[in-house]
Amino acid sequence: MDFLAILIPLFPLIAAAVIGFGHLFNKINGREDEWISVAIAKTAIVLSCFAAIALLASDLLGLNSGTYNVGQWFASESFVIEINYISSGFGVIAAALFSIILVIITRFSVNYIHKESGFHRFFFMLSLFSFAMLYLVLSGNAVGTFIGWELAGLCSYFLISFAYDRPIAAINATRVFVTNRIGDAGFILGIGLSFYYVGTVNWNEINGIADQLTMPTATVISLCFVVAAFAKSAQLPFSPWLARAMEGPTPSSALFYGAVMIHAGVFLVILLQPIIEQALLVMGLLVVVGLFTAIYSFIVGLTQTDVKSSICFAITGQIGLMFLECGLGLWELAMWHLCAHSIVRGYQVMTAPSLLHYVHGNPMKPVSSSIVNVRWLYITSLQRFWLDPIADRALVRPIKGLGHDLDHFDKNFVDRAMGAPKPAGNTISSLNQLEQKILGTRQDSAHEDFVRSNGVVGKIFEWGANIMSWFEERLVLRGIGADTVDIGRKLGQAANTFEQLILKPRYLVLFVFVVLMIAASI
Amino acid sequence: MIEADFPLLTIIILLPLLGAILVGSIRDNNLAKQAAFFIAGLVLLLTLLVLFTFDSGQSGYQFVERYEWIPVLNIEYFVGIDGISVLFLPLTALLTLIAIKASWNSITNLPRLHFAMLLVLESVSIGIFCALDTILFFLFWELTLPPFFFLIGLWGVGSQRRHAAMKYTLFMITGGVSLLLAFIVLAANHAFYTEGSIPQALTFSLPVLLSTPLADNLQMLVFMFLLFGFAVKSPLVPLHTWMPTVAMEGPSHIVATLVGLKLGLYGILRFAMPLAPSAAVEYSWLLSILGALTLIYGALIAIQQTNLRRLLAYASVSHVGLVMVGIASLNMQGLQGAIYQLINFTFIASSLMLIAGFIKQRIGSTEAIHLGGLAKVMPKLTFFYFLFMLASIGVPGTSGFPAELLMIIGALNSHTVLGIVALSGAILGAAYMLSYTRRAFLGPVTHKSLNKVYDLQPKEMALLLVPAFLVLGFGFFPDYILNINQIASQEWLSRLVTDSP
């Protein structure tokens, strides 16, 4: 029954392709075609769900061999990437669970998104996401998992910006995607290092020789994947993206950040159990980050006043606990926790809009009296530990500033240093320049006779005086005087700019970076 | 080396040239356009024929044709293709066809000259990919200048198009001089090596030069000359400043050709490194640092850009840096990834530039401040923009992904730190593309006039459909490209690795 593993992600992919191309070529468009998109998306995900349950059943009955290899996807020398699936173990359970949740949420969205513009777009994204997530949990190699990983992030981008005409939604979507991209870089680094040290990217083989790896190797490889997992599961220091991501429509929030995608990080860590167990440092990191995220989420959650954001911090807190469990070696517990959390939270986020309705009249539980008067904690919590501003200061602004300076450098120095001709229209671009030019021409013609006289002696004196005056004006005053001041001013400005630049920490960092780069490549 | 029984490559090179004369001499503008289109289509079919009859299992050059040209100096007309160059032929032809169609109605001034120039450009570009004689290569290389000069200078969209054309030409001529010097040194070296006298024993044929040993100090000289010449065209930082100027001033379909065909990188791959192998290995650190610098420099400046065409120019510079890092990793993954990415440029970077052209044509600007909410008024254009944008940042499912993955894996395996630099470039890539997207395509429609803008017309959509299918096709089946250049890449690598100490 191993072959079922191919079908599970394939159905939603086909659905996504049909809806996508149909919508692009105007075959599926408008309100009257809504049922077509729905029918395609629903059928596909229901079929996947049946296949996933059948795969799980046959795995429980012991009919699965564990892996299923379709063939080579692409290869470059020894870097071979296959299309293969893991058909037993936690991945299959996760696939079955996720596909059931996907069916429920797909059905839920039909009514929720009904008559909104972007209906077809939503179901296209939903199907693509279903493919991504199911492929992520079933793929037998790191590149396959990465494909699911990245596509899920992309769908999340598109669904956060679902109402793209709202500027906040667009800003948040961009920020979330770029933050996730940092984690993705960690994932790719992990793939590269496992290829370098282990010579393969198949999960089974990497895990298989995990006990032969030395501890530093195992640490480095697993560290990369764990960083990727932290970013995807919104752990510290990446946590703030989750609150931004809640911008999307409720069903997609439920699916991505309540039930399914947010667990991808924990899933990856569980998948890499053998290799992570070789790296004590990484286990410790899991404990520390998980614990701190749980505490952070608890504290920040206390001051949240709207449903979505308080749920959002509840999610990161629970997931922090899952990482903590993994770090302590309680893998089984983490798996149970993941499944249970995914069901409960999916329901909770879906019903979030009516949650207030349900709890109406029930008084809120007051905050524990021991921390109720701690002012600094209250402010910290309200400010969400200043994580977003810190990231802005430490990363976004320096990078933007660097970009700005380089742009200036490129236009004013590199371009000039190359000695290319200036465009003719550009020579006078401001009033100031024009004024200077006029002043300059006046100075050129300013030389007038110094004295006037009669007689031979007088003429000789006049002549001599004029020469002296010309000399004085041309060479001494203009050559040394005016120009020196001008040059001096320019030099001063340049020195000033240089000083200011040097004072900015980004240049220091850049300098260190360049030195490291040179040192490493020689 | 397999000799051709039928001069297919010569026909492919000459057909557009003759077509250009034909197009120039037809009096009727409409008929001339049709003729240009027909000829470009025919060339595309012929190049596809080459591609399908090309045997990727064979090593060495195929479709080789060799005639004496200037016997006194032993300069030959010597063309042929191998696994590295074969795919560029149909893609160049496709790009020309798309450029012709994209400028179909927008060129009203001297249309016959314009389409003739486009065909000349096609002919010499294909010539560059086929030439196996260094002087023939140099001839084609320099012959790209007149068409580009006129196309940018006469039909540019910016007010300083003449200046842009002049700047481009001056840069390229500077690069060309150093190429010619290097080729002469190589030919003279062959004469010294065979102990022949100068005019008789000179040779400019690439296979012969490849098998002629070169002293170490000369290798360095040749390598630096060639590197400089090709770096100007690629372009690598700090020789890139012509790129944004041309992107702002030039007509979008020409800029699309310019960013699509990365002739400079092809030159480094085909000439600079194999001709001076031990220098290339010795200075691979220089190449990779130049590449990493270009990658980060371009990406950081791109973050600051508010104009799509300038942004794409810097993005293209940044991608060139990544390819350089890939090539300099000197392993199979890096090399194949780099070739893959060069092929990607012909349909990803160029299509993005075309889309920028469509926006410019409709709204008169690609500055973010004049746009905003384009997704609402032009959903189809936005779809294609997103597809190509995602391909350019290497999202899985598009052809950008295998290329970027291979290059990064290659870089990680040879210079780990540079691999990490390349990865940070990938993060920056997402940042600059998406932040422009946010400002121009998402958000509310701020300018009322935008509401009246037409979405993509079927004709324009057809221009983007073929590249879109290539993006998805090569994204899902990357093995096709990798298999074609596998043997050629192995040969390329073994030459560098065995010749090095």
Q: pLDDT (tens digit, 9 = 90+) per residue, A13-52?
A: 999 999 998 988 888 887 888 888 899 999 999 999 999 9
Q: DSSP per residue over A72-95, as a string?
A: EEEEETTEEEEEEEE-SSHHHHHH
Contact A171 B427 (CB under 8 A): no
Per-residue pLDDT at A288: 94
Per-residue pLDDT at A432: 62
SS3 A323: helix
Does the pLDDT value for residue B499 go beyond 80?
no
The Cα–Cα gap between A244 and A387 comes to 13
Does the pLDDT value for residue A440 go beyond 90?
no
Peptide bond into B199 cis (omega under 30): no
Q: How many other CB atoms are found less than 10 A from the CB of residue A460?
A: 11
Instruction: Average the pLDDT over B129-147 and give the result.
Output: 93
Contact A154 B390 (CB under 8 A): yes
Long-range Cβ contact pairs of A511-518 (< 8 A, separation 24 or more): A516/B417, A517/B289, A517/B292, A517/B417, A517/B418, A517/B421, A518/B289
Closest by Cβ to B415, choosing from A77, A165, A521:
A521
**pLDDT (tens digit per residue) in A445-466:** 444 555 556 667 777 777 887 7
Cα of B119 to nearest chain A Cα, Å = 29
By CA distance, what is A25's nearest residue in B? B380
By CA distance, what is A424's nearest residue in B? B163
**pLDDT (tens digit per residue) in A468-482:** 777 776 666 565 555
**Contacting residues of B for A416, CB less than 8 Å apart:** none
Contact B424 A522 (CB under 8 A): no
Closest by Cβ to A399, choosing from B300, B383, B413:
B300
| Class of residue B280 by CB neighbours under 10 A (exposed 0-12, middle 13-18, buried 19+) | buried
Confidence of residue A211 (pLDDT cuts 50, 70, 90): confident
Token digits for A20? 């996508």
Instruction: Average the pLDDT over B298-313 and give the result.
Output: 92
Handedness of CA B292, B296, B299, B301 (dihedral sign): negative
Interface of A with B in 407-436 (CB under 8 A): 407, 410, 414-415, 417-418, 420-426
By CA distance, what is B419's nearest residue in A? A189
Instruction: Average the pLDDT over B264-284 and give the result.
Output: 91
Do B292 and A517 form a contact (C-beta atoms < 8 A)? yes
Does the pLDDT value for residue B500 go beyond 50?
no
Residue entry with tokens 């009096």: B27
Per-residue pLDDT at A54: 93
Token digits for A122? 């939503």
Per-residue pLDDT at A475: 65
Cα of A301 to nearest chain B Cα, Å = 30
Least confident of A98-102, A112-116, A441-445, B356-360: A441-445
Contact B373 A424 (CB under 8 A): no
**Residue B405: alpha-carbon gap to chain centroid:** 20
**Portion of chain B with pLDDT greater than 90, in percent:** 55
Instruction: Average the pLDDT over B434-447 and give the result.
Output: 88
Higher pLDDT, A208 or A508: A208
Least confident of A457-466, B38-47, B173-182: A457-466
pTM of the shown model: 0.88
Higher pLDDT, A269 or A376: A269
Q: DSSP per residue over B318-369, as a string?
A: HHHHHHHHHHHT-SHHHHHHHHHHHHHHHHTHHHHHHHHHHHHHHHS--BGG
Interface of A with B in 170-229 (CB under 8 A): 170-171, 173-174, 177-178, 181-182, 184-185, 188-189, 191-193, 195-196
Q: Which of A23, A74, A133, A168 would you mutate first to test chain B, the one with the most B CBs within 10 A?
A: A74
Does the pLDDT value for residue B493 go beyond 60?
yes
**Residue B450: alpha-carbon gap to chain centroid:** 34
Across A36-50, A297-311, A354-368, the highest mean pLDDT is recorded for A36-50
Whole-number average pLDDT of chain A: 84
The Cα–Cα gap between A213 and A217 comes to 6
Contact A188 B405 (CB under 8 A): yes
Contact B401 A403 (CB under 8 A): no
The Cα–Cα gap between B480 and B492 comes to 19
Per-residue pLDDT at A199: 87
**pLDDT (tens digit per residue) in A222-234:** 999 999 999 999 9
Instruction: Average the pLDDT over A252-277 and give the result.
Output: 90
The 8-class DSSP code of residue A68 comes to: E
What are phi and psi for residue A455, nearest 5 degrees?
A: 80, 165
Q: Which of B301, B324, B327, B456 would you mutate first to test chain A, the one with the most A CBs within 10 A?
A: B301
Per-residue pLDDT at B498: 66
Cα of A355 to nearest chain B Cα, Å = 30
Contact A522 B304 (CB under 8 A): no
Handedness of CA A109, A111, A115, A120 (dihedral sign): positive
By CA distance, what is B170's nearest residue in A? A420
**Residue A275: alpha-carbon gap to chain centroid:** 26
Cα of B461 to nearest chain A Cα, Å = 10
Contact A516 B416 (CB under 8 A): no
